[in-house]
Structure 1
């Protein structure tokens, strides 16, 4: 790889389009994409994107939105939601969304980010009672149809002789080579929500005998914010208690987001409307209002997939794929039951909660014993309990949760968020997750991805030096006191981040992002077969320019470089150049074209695509090796209620003769994908 040439190109590409006119450069999709690159659970991101799209399509009326609805809004921190609720209580009716600029807790950048989710409508001093005739008359209905297909043939869809399949039955997929989903949603304000989803992944049969689609689900939610029965939920739903130490299958906080949003809050049941086949509850939940106390009860019972040995669970299968005979045999082979409760006291600035959850399985959970998993959960059932708290001062929020597992292990997480003005925000978090602590549905701030075997401290800050310059940075240190998979000794991790943004105008901005990570893993010294644990370092640098002129056009140019080094072993490099050109005018047609060239040494130096996806579609591909990517998406609003979106993506590799492995292997250096999405509101 020609390094001097690489850096000359990096310098040149960001000099494109450096001019300024009026427009808008902030986009919540780009904001969420920053989270995706930190690689948290894909299901969590999909749920967040789906909820934000729903809110964008049905914005909240500033003259009617409740405090609870603001606290459910993912893009607002606890302090920001409380500050906005206090402002609206004192100043309603408001007459324009730009009155948000008068909310002390909201920065200029945050206001730009959340504007698409609010509008100013009729002032409603008292919440209207729920009447069935209004629900039926004014309820909004929506049908969504999605179809994805890879045009390039993959190994799992080829024709094989019967003799080969008799010996290797999992070499061929059982179903068609396309993804398909259908969703129906009904909503009346925030009070009534109902929906149905059916879905099949590529390779799964479209209609299995007596089975229909591979995955189906529904939800029904009834809300009365001021009633005794505040929330009734049936079907598929998600929950979050406290800081997530025992229950959280709602949203995960990424480290870059935690700078301003580090404090979580207990959430009432939410619908699960994504196609993800794991990580949710199926059953019923209710929230009772005993002001100032609320009580949440929930129960879930559903079949889940598991890998078995001697009829015992060795691990849970969460990818949702049922394409080969082996995968199909694992579908729903285990029964899970979960029940729990939360009692939450809230008065003025103080919140105190207590939660408990109980799990049981019809099979014994018994992973094959290894040194690294010696303290993993084993048995037929398990429980967790916790207490959580938060207190909001004028410019300071303190919050935390302490939890106990069935074996007596105690975990704790505590955080402070200081926000003296809309220009400065500082967050500090400490977590202590013992080796023997287990929480199957726990999901809290961590480096290792589990609420187990981790101690750490995080410090983050964001500062607006002026209306044009903003800086965001964090550093996180984690210690893992027990070995992990691929790490045969206790280990350490350091994660650093810096983002600087300069706005030339409302229409143009330039940002520079740097990421640093130091972790440890098993490795071999050169010319030595013995295994040792060595540190490795990853540096990522991105320079990006965004320009949004008038009349609906927008341009984004980016240059990224990555360096990976493992001590005494190897050093690898990579870079990517990308350009987006899009149009979102007032006419029927909108579209975007994305192109990139990437050149990286290995998977360790992979880089992510910044292309836009179709509505309700979560897909952020990563690339390594040498190649080019081209994507084109178009949307046609046939009427105000009916739209069709299509996307095509083509990837060519210069350094290989095949793509992928196993049943996903493509013979050749090209891959072509097409996507279609139909939306009908009625």
Structure 2
């Protein structure tokens, strides 16, 4: 009956709905995220940024390069093309002119159209007081209510209640000045007691001032920064392999406020972008923050830095903020006639020494810990790197080489050539020495870190017709030192092909991805291939207020045994000026965890959800929001029901029933 009800609901939605233009930015972000299978940690950050800019759009005719860098999904070459176009034609008169930009693919053009508006060319110089007077304010409160109990709640191991909730305030003055704070609480964390006597488990504050006096960009409080190609520092601002095709291997330097609930991978202090000369940018940054550290048996040194942000149990609370990290650095960037060069220096000092290898009483370590031997270690870690490139016309060359007190180097270099506005090739080679490490690095890799890897990536982007685009890449990687689940050197292959058809109201996406990584056999005597095949077929129809989407995902894994899984989904949306409703239903069937399937599921404002499913079951979700003047009320109901089990998850997260239902409520007030 449930299945019949939902399919009837979507059928009723599909009956002729007509109205005005749909400014649905998340639709285009979903195309990009599903292309990369959300393997990058940055999609949530991009989602957060676009949520803010969709409510505070940029006047494209007054935009600076740094304005466009704040959007995260554009690279330097794309930004340069936009700025050149604005200068040559004295601004834009309509958003349709975005179609004249050859460096942007369709989804990025549509994303950009959702976060800009066409305004006057002249810039009015406003004082600090005038900016404050014209600012917009937003307050958001959210609560998540589980209709189940986890084992940690029933046995009293969790120190707090079952609800998760957060508060957020943000002030925005024409994207030139922003400030706000966030208070967040995960389910199971104590409130106004224990280590959280001050109330919420997590507080965050940020202030950002742009194009004011000597500051091109100034951030105080919590912030994220990325320089070069991420070998020295990148606080999670990097997208996946498929996105590299549309950026032609090109990257951009970014400094932005950390305005999300994430408790990991940010800096806390102050950073600024100074622009003393048209060709020179200087970015100094300072930070001091506390981290959660897992201690070794000596109770003084660190085994690792924990990044989950959970503080629910006695052991999780014991490691909360038990280590401090002081960071300082500077980035210098020079640009001239299409050439650019830069240098980054960073120094980190931990209050405890990192010792990532567990040593037994005999002073020996287990062979299963070999993959941890060259992780960051010590109390002081510094790195120095240079980045360089050339962007002009059809050619784009970019690279970065880094060194540190690890006494090893890492280098990444990319080149792209556009044969025409319809066809471009990209090549990227990286060499990360197994002894190289940088505490905040994040760059292109197949193994998840910027060490112990060399590889070659080749990709092509071909706009076959106006409506049809083919994207494909092949990535080959070699790991000389043992990785997790391997006791020797190993190799990996990653091949993806995506076909995207976008014509007026209809979008069709077909994607196939093959990954082959070597893993230990069951006896751990030799390496055997772990082969993953994943396919996606999605058909989307969008007409004014209404969107209907059907998706089929297939997963096949061959590793010690064969495993097959699939997911069938139906999504629908109706949107009017004040009312918005989205519904989805999915059926999944996988033989085990190896053939698990993923889905992109819309949720509340400033939140993103890409769940995975394994086993047999159904997923239902309904999201609705209502806008009345300055108040927006939103709610989401989501249920996952399993047919092949009587309990969900394990450990303290275990739910002793086959159904998991969550209700999320949100109130937004803008003034």
Q: Is contact 2:56-2:175 (8 Å) kept?
A: no
Structure-2 separation of matches of 1:397 and 1:79: 8
Partners of 1:20 and 1:232 in 2: CA distance: 46
1:36 Cα offset (Å): 6.2
Asked whether 1:375 is paired with 2:361, we answer no
Residue 370 of structure 2 aligns to a residue whose secondary structure is: coil
User: CA 1:582–1:330 in structure 2 vs 1: closer, same or farther (change >3 Å)?
Assistant: same
Q: Structure 1 residue 243: deviation in Å? A: 0.5
Distance in 2 (alpha carbons) for counterparts of 1:47 and 1:511: 24
The question of 1:128 aligning with 2:124 is answered yes
Q: Look up the SS of the partner of 1:372 in the other structure.
A: helix
Secondary structure in structure 1 of the residue aligned to 2:245: helix
Matched, 1:194 2:179: yes
Equivalent positions of 1:33-432 (< 5 A) are 33-34=33-34, 37-41=37-41, 44-124=42-122, 127-158=123-154, 160=155, 172-208=157-193, 210-224=197-211, 227-291=213-277, 292-309=279-296, 310=298, 311-367=300-356, 368=358, 369=365, 370-432=369-431
CA–CA distance in structure 1, aligned partners of residues 354 and 148 of structure 2: 40
Return closer, same or farther for 1:627/1:536 CA change in 2, 3 Å cut-off. Answer: same
| Residue aligning to 1:602 | 592
Contact 1:231 1:268 survives alignment (8 Å): no
- Tell me, in whole angstroms, the C-alpha distance in 2 between the residues paired with 1:30 and 1:655: 30
Q: What is the DSSP-based 3-state SS (H/G/I as helix, E as strand, rest coil) of the residue aligned with 1:251?
A: coil
TM-score (norm 2): 0.92
- Cα distance, 1:74–1:83 mapped onto 2, change above 3 Å: same
In structure 2, C-alpha distance between the alignment counterparts of 1:668 and 1:250, rounded to whole Å = 36
Partners of 1:508 and 1:546 within 8 A in 2: yes
TM-superposition CA deviations, 1:543-581 (whole Å, max 9, x none): 11100124x111000111111002xx2111011110001
1:108 and 1:423, CA in 2 relative to 1: closer, same or farther beyond 3 A? Answer: farther
* 1:657 matched residue in structure 2: 646
What SS does the aligned partner of 1:666 have? coil
Secondary structure, in 3 states, of the residue corresponding to 1:316?
A: strand
Q: Is the 8 A contact 2:567 2:587 kept in 1?
A: yes
Q: Which of residues 606, 612, 624 is equivalent to 1:622?
A: 612
State the SS of the aligned residue for 2:161: coil
SS of corresponding position for 1:269? strand
CA distance in 2, matches of 1:352, 1:265: 13
2:29 corresponds in structure 1 to 29
| Distance change in 2, residues 1:647/1:19 (3 Å) | closer
> Please, what TM-score do these two structures have when normalized by structure 1?
0.90
- 1:32 is displaced (CA, Å) by 4.2
Does residue 666 (structure 1) correspond to residue 655 (structure 2)? The answer is yes
Q: Distance in 1 between matches of 2:498 and 2:524?
A: 40
> Which residue of the partner structure matches residue 3 of structure 1?
none
Assess if the C-alpha contact under 8 Å between 1:289 and 1:295 holds in 2.
yes
Q: Deviations over 1:372-424 (max 9, x none)?
A: 22222221111100000121121111110000021220110001122344322
Q: Does structure 1 conserve the Cα–Cα contact (< 8 Å) formed by 2:28 and 2:110?
A: no
Structure 2: give runs of 5+ residues left out of the alignment.
1-9, 359-364
1:108-166: CA deviation from partner (whole Å, max 9, x where unpaired): 45423321112111221xx43340231121011111111112211111111x4xxxxxx
Q: Is the 1:107–1:423 contact (alpha carbons within 8 Å) kept by the matching residues of 2?
A: no
Alpha-carbon spacing, 1:151–1:574, altered in 2? closer, same or farther (3 Å): same
Shift of 1:218: 0.4
Is contact 2:283-2:330 (8 Å) kept?
yes
Residue among 547, 572, 575 paired with 2:563? 572
| Aligned: 1:561 with 2:554 | yes
CA distance in 1, matches of 2:349, 2:100: 50
Q: Is residue 496 of structure 2 the alignment partner of residue 485 of structure 1?
A: no
CA distance in 1, matches of 2:87, 2:45: 30
What are the superposed Cα offsets for residues 258-315 of structure 1, whole Å, 9 maximum, x if unpaired? Answer: 1112545453521001111110000111222221222111111111000002111001
Distance 1:257 1:21 in 2: 33
Structure 1 consecutive aligned stretches of length 4 or more whose deviation exceeds 6 Å:
16-26
Q: Deviations over 1:159-213 (max 9, x none)?
A: x4xxxxxxxxxx6211111111111111112321111111111111222363221
- The secondary structure found in structure 2 opposite 1:658 is coil
Q: What SS does the aligned partner of 2:645 have?
A: coil
The yes-or-no answer on 1:681 pairing with 2:662 is no
Q: Which moved more, 1:531-540 or 1:419-428?
A: 419-428
Unaligned stretches of 5+ residues in structure 1: 1-12, 161-170
3-state SS, counterpart of residue 531 of structure 1: coil
Query: What is the rounded CA distance, in whole Å, between the counterparts of 1:335 and 1:136 in structure 2?
Result: 35
Hey, what's the Cα distance between the residues in 2 that align with 1:104 and 1:20? 33
- Is the Cα contact below 8 Å between 2:69 and 2:252 reproduced in 1? no
Q: Which residue of 2 aligns with 1:434?
A: 433
Contact kept, 8 Å, 2:226 with 2:253, in 1: the verdict is: yes
Q: CA deviation at 1:94?
A: 2.4
Q: Distance in 2 between matches of 1:276 and 1:263?
A: 27
Distance of 2:612 and 2:399 partners within structure 1? 35
Query: SS at 2:526's partner residue?
Result: strand
CA gap of 1:546–1:180, structure 2 versus 1, over 3 A, is: same
Cα pair 1:20 1:507 within 8 Å, conserved: no
Q: 5 Å matches for 1:1-12?
A: none
C-alpha root-mean-square deviation of aligned residues, in Å? Answer: 2.2
Which digits, 9 at most, give the CA deviation of each residue in 1:486-514, with x for residues without a partner? Answer: 111100110011111234x3101222110
Query: Structure 1 pair 614/595, CA: closer, same or farther in 2 (3 Å)?
Result: same
Does the 8 Å contact 1:135/1:188 carry over to 2?
A: yes
Counting matched residue pairs gives: 642
Partner of 1:499: 498
Q: Secondary structure at the match of 2:372?
A: coil
Q: 1:519 to 1:184 in 2, by over 3 A?
A: same
| Closer/same/farther in 2, CA of residues 584 and 422 from structure 1, 3 Å limit | farther
> Which stretch has the larger CA shift, 466-475 or 70-79?
70-79
Q: Is the 8 A contact 1:17 1:547 kept in 2?
A: no
